[in-house]
Structure 1
Amino acid sequence: MAMILDAFVYKFAQLLVELANEEVDMLLGVPGEIKKLQNKLRKISKVLADAERKRINDEAIDDWLKELKDFMYDADDILDLCRIEADKCSEVSSSTSSVCSPFPLLSCFRKPLLSHEIGSKIRELNLKLEQISRGRSEFNLQNSSPDKQKVTSQNSRKTSPVGEIDIVGSEIEEHTQSLVDLLIKDDTRGNNLVFAIVGAGGIGKTTLAKRIYNDQRIQEEFSKKRWVCVSQEFDEVKLLKDILDGDKNDCAGDQSKSSLEPKVETSLWGKKLFLVLDDVWTAKVWCDLLCNTLKSCAAGSRILVTTRNEQITKQMRAVNTHQVHKLSLKDSWLLLCKKVVLIGEEGEIQHLKDIGMEMVKKCDGLPLAIKAVAGVLCTKERTRRAWSGVLESTAWSTSGLPEEVKGALYLSYEDLPSYLKQCFIYCSLFPENHQIWMDTITKLWIAEGFVKAEGSSTMEEIAEDYYKELIMRNLLQPHAPYICQMHDLLQSLARYLARDESSVVCKVDEVGSSNGPMKLRRVFVSNVHEVGTSGPTTAITDVLVKKDTLRTLMWNMMPMSETQMDVIFHKLSRLRVLDMSHSRIRSLPDSLGNLIHLRDVSTFLAFLTVS
């Protein structure tokens, strides 16, 4: 769940403290109701951690948490309304008097209509929470202390940039050089020869491909180099745009394969191309889409494919297939050491090697799993008790999860404090292999209310600490300075936990396609190019306006008329985040002012005109 309940309940309870006094009770006409809310929330908060763990295998607990989560979202809207009205009162007070009221909430609650509206909603919340609270007695949930809002100390090691620290053993360098030799070797079998790297998910295929792509000899040999992440459900239009690699706005109007193919062909005509197709799940990406389009490239062009399925490489007629094997126990331990301590400090954890070896055995030679465990150990004391606690965690054996995210990956999530869990799951909103800028994601976390300033630190500083800790824990992968990505397996885990609450939409029929009980809260719409009777934009907006629980709308690389925006801004009144970057909108309607909960708006490269 993108809103991890124990984090949200803690924040909500803190906000109620501001309201819990007799004068507010009297002004709202709800004597005792706010304290009732506080007491019920306090009792519920003690069992939330246990409920979150058990929901994976218990449908009844899962349904109970969904009901509680819906309640918390409604409560957040009411509290946000209180804050908005208090801010208005503060502005009026400061403009008419040099002395500001120390209690702006009291001032705004003296308005009869507003106090009646909020008082009625607080009564409704209490009735709903009473019903939800009765339901928890059926589940035998265990009490535990809620997380405190404190970023984990990074005393074990500093976050290192992506690169050599992820590499162990001498074999990978040998494999890199031998594959580069093959790729630059003269070969008369064809213009565009396909080479392949094959192995299980999380085994290091992309790491090897990156080393090859960045090799100096590759840089010198090929005049054009492209890296394209394909993923399981690739989008032909987006893939062609990525290969074209021009200014996004130059090709933003091209929404069809037929209009882009000749542009790609022309741009690469006579050029010696090195193209990496990372994470390929079907041979169609080559056989049906790119094979003919890239025939205009110069002789000696090469295609390097990474895939989990060797059969795909045969269908693509790869001339060479390299198998990536699992790490040995020795190399697994070396990688764990590299990710837990700084180079030269390995001796500090040698007394824990026996416990560490048991953990890397559970990782089955998969580098991604080993790095996930290392991310957990980075936050622990270097004692046998602390490391044994990780080894003996029940998260290793949690059932009911998708097979590919069991064990180490789920352990790395379960070890997160609740405020980081919701930030991690929020990243599932982006498409696979999306480049996530630190400034962007931290602003979104703040807008959604996931970040709370502590002490003298600003919310921006705290959010940046969250970002750095997720990288330190190897749950986000640094891609470049201030840019990260999510590994596709970790994104699969985040999407599984978010369920139907978040959705990435690249086709018209993907909006609201689930029949589950979850309410859609966040949606990322990008590059939709299926044209129906009324066009994709109209079809999507017609569905979106019915999703009145939306809090985040990211409308990327898609046009939208002022009329369509007007409808959305009237219907989606709960929006906190509105991102219309690269959307080719010319102006924003006045109805944007209806979005009183809105905290973050982005119109980067949207062609807005200032009148």
Structure 2
Amino acid sequence: MAEALLHTVSKIGSTLAEETTKAVIAKLSEKVKNLKELPEKVEEIGNEFKAMSNVIKQFSTPSLTNELVKDWIGEVRELAHRVEDVMDKYSYHALKLEEENALKKFFSKAYYVTVFSEIAEEIIQIERKIENVVKRRDRWLQLPQLISNPLADIERKKPQGCFQEVLQDDLVGIEHNRRQLTEWLYSDKQGRTVITVSGMGGLGKTTLVANVYEREKINFTAHALIVVSKTYDVVEMLRKMLRKIGYPEQSELTDMDAHELKVKIKDRLSDGKCLVVLDDVWNREAYTQIADVFQNLQSCSIIITTRQEHVSTLAQPRHQLKLKPLECNDAFNLFCRKAFYNRMECKCPQDLEKLAKNIVDRCQGLPLAIVTIGGMLSSLPTTDYVWNETYKQLRCELANNDNVSAILNLSYHDTPGDLRNCFLYCGLFPEDHLLSSESLVRLWAAEGFAVQKEQSTAEEVAEGYLRELIQRNMLEVVENDELGRVSTCKMHDLVRDLALSIFKDEKFGSANDFSSISNMDKHVCRLSSCGWKEKAAVKVKFSRLRTLVALGITASSPQLLSPIFSESNYLTVLELQDSEITEVPPSIGNLFNLRYIGLQRTRVKSLPESIGRLSNLLTLDIKKTKIVKLPRGIVRLKKLSEARI
């Protein structure tokens, strides 16, 4: 939460430092009551937010579960959003006034007097609200049961160097299971072999199977690894499979139904051996609905990972692998590889060995818990005091949560402020969604979570954040590029569950199915609503919306988005990848705050000329669209650093 306040403080500072802002204040201060005092008032608001940020940092993780604390933090975040809205509104009108003045255009002084009078009045209202929030803090948040965080001011170490130096697969204690899986792949010479790998969340099913897949896929003429998840679409699964096995006419896929896709897949698989992994399957139908694709093939191996016992029975008993927690030695070795990755042979210091083993015991052999707590401790000083305090906090967390949840909570609350927004942002994307590192970096920069520091650009700072989230196991690497750098990553579903729970407590945003959009808070600032199937436009007015993530919209009408464009004046990020939309409404040109437009793999054929009015646009992602020509007005976008085509 503290990082949201610091982000707001940063925006306040940058807004007031703009020459345009200073000029407007000078020009209208005689006409607008309270405008002359605005910089001083806003600076004071910034100081209050800094103080609130420091208060929040001092709360220990057990205190953050206190309802009074959670309510107060939610109230403060809402205040931060409101200040951000006012600052954006101020910047917009200041810029418009300056442009009209520079072009010697006619402009209505009465109009601008009204606008800036309203802004000045809003600032006064925010001042009063801050006073009330501070009073509530002093009245209720000094209770003795609220424990302070002794590690709040400990400096965290950041991972250095290239991605590949900290992205080694932590494959400890799986050699026997790997050999067993590999043997099953080649045990039946002909026909179809179904193999299931089952066990509770956090046991490393995906890690094991992905490792076997990467090692063995070269021996198969066709191969595909597909993440299924709880909510799946059969047609989309078939499309993914066809893409993975190398269907040359990718553009045709969006027009094919399930039957046509199956015919194409059978044709591609008919001439040789194939290996297919279906990861994170929650019900038997996810496989049985596509099983006919694999009938009568010469040789086909299918590996299914699942948490569900009834799904594991899709395989014969002799091809069912049930994962168990790691043995003590393997668990400790895995922990040391994460916690001491930068020490010789990843060796635990002797004076910390007993404490380290106590921490590992609390993980109960679950790899996800082990690598998460190990990644967190790798950023802390290796001193007896720091590790003891961490262990105490872990024991407090375990009193309220199961082992994995307790460790994930502790890791999140230990994360430095500037990383938390970046982590939470990933939760806006659907479960098991593959996150492009390139897109993440640009999204975080567009949102203002990563800002320029000294000689580093905002995107270079964001790349550092990505490294650190991966080192802490808050994100998992899925794929590296030819240079060994991370190209795609994802959130473990248990980690995403944590992010979604924090969304609610801290009013960060909302991630729901489209069917529930009408019941959402109209003041939501970040909205993820993927898989829109209805053709009707959204009727809810989201006046404070800053981010819209709407992947896989199945309706093509541009009118679907028009209400959001007309009502959400502060929209900063618009991410619509993998959607059926064919047009972008011209009203997009009114979104003065828009910094990121993501249209990757949509059917959009052209962009409206009005896009040339988006003076704050940083990234335009039109990769794999049907756009062949950009509008002339694009040359006016001075801030546009990347048009991905």
TM range, normalised to the smaller chain? 0.7 to 0.9
- Equivalent position of 2:236 in the other structure: 238
**What amino acid does structure 1 have at the position aligned with 2:406?**
G
Instruction: Select 2:527's aligned residue among 515, 523, 527.
Output: 523
User: Contact 1:6–1:49 (CA<8 Å) still a contact in 2?
Assistant: no
User: Contact 1:158–1:472 (CA<8 Å) still a contact in 2?
Assistant: no
The 1:492–1:224 alpha-carbon spacing in structure 2 relative to 1, beyond 3 Å, is same
In 1: Cα distance, 2:218 partner to 2:232 partner: 27
User: Contact 1:277–1:306 (CA<8 Å) still a contact in 2?
Assistant: yes
User: Contact 2:11–2:84 (CA<8 Å) still a contact in 1?
Assistant: yes
- Equivalent position of 1:562 in the other structure: 558
In 1: Cα distance, 2:6 partner to 2:165 partner: 29
**What amino acid does structure 2 have at the position aligned with 1:360?**
V
The 1:332–1:259 alpha-carbon spacing in structure 2 relative to 1, beyond 3 Å, is same
Equivalent position SS for 1:434? coil
1:135-534 superposed matches below 5 A:
135-141=136-142, 152-154=157-159, 160=165, 162-163=167-168, 165-169=169-173, 172-186=174-188, 191-216=191-216, 218-220=217-219, 222-245=220-243, 246=247, 249-254=251-256, 257=258, 260-269=261-270, 271-287=272-288, 289-296=289-296, 298-315=297-314, 317=316, 319-339=318-338, 340-342=340-342, 344-347=344-347, 349-394=349-394, 397=397, 403=402, 405-479=404-478, 480=480, 481=485, 482-499=487-504, 502-504=509-511, 508-512=514-518, 519-528=523-532
Equivalent position SS for 2:415? coil
Equivalent position SS for 1:406? helix
Q: Deviations over 1:519-577 (max 9, x none)?
A: 4333345444xxxxxxx2423x324x533332212333435433334333112222100
Shift of 1:152: 4.2
**What amino acid does structure 2 have at the position aligned with 1:393?**
Q
Q: Deviations over 1:60-81 (max 9, x none)?
A: 4433333332222121011122
In 2: Cα distance, 1:144 partner to 1:208 partner: 37
The 1:249–1:113 alpha-carbon spacing in structure 2 relative to 1, beyond 3 Å, is farther
User: Contact 1:283–1:316 (CA<8 Å) still a contact in 2?
Assistant: no
In 1: Cα distance, 2:101 partner to 2:386 partner: 54
In 1: Cα distance, 2:176 partner to 2:269 partner: 31
CA RMSD of aligned residues (A): 3.8
Equivalent position SS for 1:166? coil
**What amino acid does structure 2 have at the position aligned with 1:292?**
D
**What amino acid does structure 2 have at the position aligned with 1:509?**
S
In 2: Cα distance, 1:69 partner to 1:52 partner: 19
Q: Which runs of 5+ in 1 are unaligned?
A: 97-107, 529-535
- Equivalent position of 1:606 in the other structure: 625
Range moving further from structure 2, 81-90 or 378-387: 81-90
Shift of 1:111: 5.3
Shift of 1:453: 2.1
User: Contact 1:57–1:399 (CA<8 Å) still a contact in 2?
Assistant: no
Equivalent position SS for 2:538? helix
Q: Deviations over 1:468-522 (max 9, x none)?
A: 11112221122223322222221221122123754555x54143556xx684333
In 2: Cα distance, 1:271 partner to 1:418 partner: 52
Shift of 1:357: 0.8
In 1: Cα distance, 2:381 partner to 2:223 partner: 45
- Equivalent position of 2:589 in the other structure: 593
1:16-95 superposed matches below 5 A:
18=17, 29-30=33-34, 31=37, 33-34=41-42, 37-38=45-46, 40-49=48-57, 53=61, 57-87=65-95
Q: Deviations over 1:338-381 (max 9, x none)?
A: 22224744346233211111111111111111111121122122
- Equivalent position of 2:616 in the other structure: none
In 2: Cα distance, 1:343 partner to 1:37 partner: 45
User: Contact 2:428–2:549 (CA<8 Å) still a contact in 1?
Assistant: no
User: Contact 2:525–2:547 (CA<8 Å) still a contact in 1?
Assistant: yes
In 2: Cα distance, 1:307 partner to 1:135 partner: 47
The 1:267–1:521 alpha-carbon spacing in structure 2 relative to 1, beyond 3 Å, is farther
Range moving further from structure 2, 150-159 or 61-70: 150-159
- Equivalent position of 1:123 in the other structure: 124
The 1:154–1:600 alpha-carbon spacing in structure 2 relative to 1, beyond 3 Å, is same
Shift of 1:46: 3.9
Equivalent position SS for 2:302? strand
Say whether residues 1:571 and 2:567 are aligned partners: yes
Say whether residues 1:538 and 2:535 are aligned partners: yes
The 1:144–1:128 alpha-carbon spacing in structure 2 relative to 1, beyond 3 Å, is farther
- Equivalent position of 1:103 in the other structure: none
In 2: Cα distance, 1:158 partner to 1:576 partner: 29
Q: Deviations over 1:269-317 (max 9, x none)?
A: 4553211111122222123x12233325x13312111122333212555
User: Contact 1:197–1:321 (CA<8 Å) still a contact in 2?
Assistant: yes
In 2: Cα distance, 1:420 partner to 1:466 partner: 6
User: Contact 2:272–2:299 (CA<8 Å) still a contact in 1?
Assistant: no
Shift of 1:426: 0.7
Equivalent position SS for 1:196? strand
The 1:311–1:253 alpha-carbon spacing in structure 2 relative to 1, beyond 3 Å, is same
Equivalent position SS for 1:301? strand
Equivalent position SS for 1:556? coil
User: Contact 2:397–2:407 (CA<8 Å) still a contact in 1?
Assistant: no
In 2: Cα distance, 1:203 partner to 1:64 partner: 36
Equivalent position SS for 1:251? helix
Range moving further from structure 2, 138-147 or 114-123: 138-147
In 2: Cα distance, 1:331 partner to 1:146 partner: 29
The 1:568–1:269 alpha-carbon spacing in structure 2 relative to 1, beyond 3 Å, is farther
Shift of 1:227: 0.7
Shift of 1:432: 2.0
Paired residue total:
576
**What amino acid does structure 2 have at the position aligned with 1:574?**
Y
**What amino acid does structure 1 have at the position aligned with 2:298?**
A
Equivalent position SS for 2:321? strand
**What amino acid does structure 2 have at the position aligned with 1:183?**
L
User: Contact 2:158–2:379 (CA<8 Å) still a contact in 1?
Assistant: yes
Q: Deviations over 1:161-199 (max 9, x none)?
A: 645x40224xx23332232122212367xx322111122
- Equivalent position of 2:548 in the other structure: 553
Q: Deviations over 1:25-83 (max 9, x none)?
A: 95652247446534643553343235695686444443333333222212101112233
**What amino acid does structure 2 have at the position aligned with 1:168?**
V
In 2: Cα distance, 1:149 partner to 1:463 partner: 22
Shift of 1:319: 4.4
User: Contact 1:556–1:582 (CA<8 Å) still a contact in 2?
Assistant: yes
User: Contact 1:586–1:609 (CA<8 Å) still a contact in 2?
Assistant: no
- Equivalent position of 2:614 in the other structure: none
User: Contact 1:409–1:490 (CA<8 Å) still a contact in 2?
Assistant: yes
In 1: Cα distance, 2:360 partner to 2:110 partner: 59
Higher relative contact order (CA 8 A, sep 6+): 1
Equivalent position SS for 2:158? coil
After TM superposition, the score normalised by the length of structure 2 is: 0.78
